[in-house]
């Protein structure tokens, strides 16, 4: 009986501490966890986390979404996956939602994916990215087609196979 009493007392104390904490409420934690899930499903790390794809996703979460200095070069010029953590840290949720809905980013950014997301998904994605904190450096700015990049880049242009 004493063990049950101590266990119940401990659980109640822990619950009261959580309830009294302004930092994280149940809804906030759920939102962050679901935002992480949406971010993974949308493939954000594939471009916005340096080395993610080449390391089979084995990059510590503390390094996620800091951008990548490897550019994507094609007929549109050269684009760089931005540091989403820096971007989101400077935006209100409303500004993030507007950006996601109206983005005209160049390839290979799949803006159609953001535009197809539910409002709740975009909101929770914002909460998750914000939870990671503002970390890392800004990535290089996009370059026009006529400007040669000085950083490593992936040549992202289809090549037609030669007929045999």
Digit-coded pLDDT (tens) for 26-85: 348 999 999 999 999 999 999 999 999 999 999 999 999 999 999 999 999 999 999 999
The answer to whether 66 and 134 have CB atoms below 8 angstroms apart is no
Q: Which two tokens stand for residue 63?
A: 């390094």
Whether 8 has a pLDDT exceeding 50, the answer reads no
Give the number of residues written for the chain. 164
The answer to whether 91 and 99 have CB atoms below 8 angstroms apart is yes
What proportion of the chain, given as a percentage, has pLDDT over 70?
A: 84
Residue 10 within a domain: no
Residue 162 within a domain: no
Higher pLDDT, 11 or 64: 64
Band the pLDDT of 4: cuts 50, 70, 90. very low
Residue 85's domain comprises 25-155
Residue 52 within a domain: yes
Residue 163 within a domain: no
Task: Using only the alpha carbons of the chain, give its radius of gyration.
Answer: 21
Residue 101 within a domain: yes
Rounded distance, CA 10 to CA 3, Å? Answer: 10
Band the pLDDT of 159: cuts 50, 70, 90. confident
Residue 65 within a domain: yes
Residue 54 within a domain: yes
Whether 14 has a pLDDT exceeding 60, the answer reads no
Total domains present in the chain: 1
The answer to whether 102 and 147 have CB atoms below 8 angstroms apart is no
Residue 77 within a domain: yes
| Strand partners of residue 77 | 74
């Amino acid at each position: 009986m004493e063990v049950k009493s101590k266990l119940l007392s401990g659980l109640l104390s822990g619950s009261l501490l959580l309830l009294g904490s302004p930092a994280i409420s149940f809804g906030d934690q759920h939102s962050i966890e679901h935002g992480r899930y949406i971010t993974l499903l949308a493939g954000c790390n594939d471009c916005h986390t340096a080395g993610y794809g080449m390391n089979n996703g084995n990059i510590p979460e503390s390094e996620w979404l800091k951008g990548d200095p490897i550019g994507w070069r094609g007929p549109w010029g050269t684009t760089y996956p931005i540091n989403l953590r820096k971007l989101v840290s400077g935006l209100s949720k409303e500004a993030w939602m507007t950006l996601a809905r109206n983005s005209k980013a160049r390839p290979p950014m799949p803006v159609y994916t953001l535009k197809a997301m539910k409002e709740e998904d975009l909101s929770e994605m914002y909460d998750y990215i914000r939870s990671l904190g503002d970390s890392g450096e800004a990535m290089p700015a996009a370059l026009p087609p006529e400007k040669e990049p000085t950083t490593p880049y992936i040549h992202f242009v289809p090549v037609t196979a030669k007929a045999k």
